[in-house]
Amino acid sequence: MAHPRPVHRPEVGGRRLAREAAATRRLEAVRRQVPHTRRDLAEVHDLRVRAEEDERVQRETLAGQETEVLACGRRLRTALSLPGVLRGAGLDPDADDGALKSPDPVHHDVRGRIAALRLLGDAVHRGLDAERRDISDTTLLNRHTDLRDQLSGGYDATIEEHDGIKLCRLVDDHGPHDIAAVGERIAAEAAEARDRLTERERDVFQCFLAGELSDHLSSQVLAAGALVAALNSTLATVRTSHGLGVTLDWKLADGVEADVKAAVDLLRSPSGLRTREQSEQLRDVLQRRIEDARRADPAAGYAAHLRTALDYRGWFAFIPWVVNDAAPGSRRKLSGRTGLSQGEQRVLSYLVLFAAAAAHFISLADTAPHTPRLILLDDAFAKVDEPTHARLGRILVDLDLDFVLTSERLIGNWPDVPSRHIYECLRDPHVRGVATLHYMWNGRQRRLMSV
């Protein structure tokens, strides 16, 4: 039987050769990449070694920091547990769900203990006064000395130190006490003493407030009104060389409280002319003002509260008006926009000053008839024209005022002033001391009295 002759397929051999060539090329490419891959592997290994070392160092640092934080927490809890510290620092132990007195959760892990310590630190930070500042040991010891010197009999002040924390305590016959506890006890005793004020004593005080105190305040307001009237009467007689004068209004200041307005209306009449309802209204008004002053400054004494609440001078304001003889019945408010020169404004201000002094001395004439009617003027009549100097001097004479004037250029030898003593001070820059020349002015001439 004849066998078939094998058939050769050249395309199969060609594909095999192509695959072999491709595999050879890939092997060659891989062989070329092997050195780079080995270098990358070595670099990655080195990075891993360094990262592991950095992690180890960071974990050791973190462990040290955690240990330091826990140590600080123990010191903080120790400080807060010292007697009197919480009260003395003004901290409420029951605030923040008792975070200030919670113990260290030692059975928790480190993170749990630090979380509890964070709550404690936040509670202390919120409870402390933000305005306080650290003070030195010297300042603290000086304050302790001041406290000890000011203590009344029966108490002494000691200072102790616990782990760098200084504690000041008060000692009496029963032993040491926390300052904050003693302060709370004194405040409670003071409140109890105030509560023991009987109804009769309250009635007595209210009668005094509505009677004697209001009568005194009423007399002051009426006397002030009379003094202002006398002041205006005096001002009506004085004019500048241009016929200008001043009159004053004394009235309630803008923006005063309704209580002040009600009180002034009632104080303008003596207590004998007020009805029972008006007296009770005045008493209530004054009492409210005293209570407002007490709430505004609780640390001040009662006398300070009375001065603040009942100082009627702050209730009123003066308003100066310029009058002109050339335009009777008209007046302008004295201010920078009045249209007067600076010299004219100064002259009018002097008129008010002189008239106020004269009216004041007139009010003292009955009780102190020998009171000197003296005013002092430093750098007198500055920025006032010289012809007006004599006119102002004459006004002082007309108001029967004695005066002392100082000036670098003003001599005062005015014909309208009948007599004056004049002292001229001379100084040589090369000689120590000052020489004084004494002159006497008699209205006509100046005569040297002594050197």
Largest CA-CA distance found in the chain, in angstroms, rounded: 182
pLDDT band at 133 (very low <50, low <70, confident <90, very high): low
Q: Which range among 154-168, 307-321, 418-432 shows the weakest confidence by mean pLDDT?
A: 154-168
Report the pLDDT value the prediction gives residue 109, as an integer from 0 to 100.
81
Q: CA 176, 180, 182, 183: dihedral to nearest 10 degrees?
A: 150
Q: What's the pTM? A: 0.47
Q: What are the φ and ψ backbone dihedral angles of 178, each rounded to 5 degrees?
A: -70, 140
- Over residues 402-446, the pLDDT tens digits come to 889 998 888 888 888 889 899 988 888 888 888 889 999 998 899
DSSP character string of 16-49: HHHHHHHHHHHHHHHHHHHHHHHHHHHHHHHHHH
Return the CATH number of 199-417, one of 3.40.50, 1.10.357, 1.10.10, 2.40.160: 3.40.50
**pLDDT digits 0-9 by tens, 346-405:** 888 888 888 888 888 887 877 888 888 899 988 888 878 777 888 888 888 888 888 899
How distant, in Å, are the alpha carbons of 83, 148, 150 from that of 154? 22, 11, 12
Strands (E) in 90-136, as ranges, are: none
Delimit the domains of the chain by residue range: 37-127, 149-195, 199-417
How many CB atoms sit inside 10 A of residue 7's CB? 5
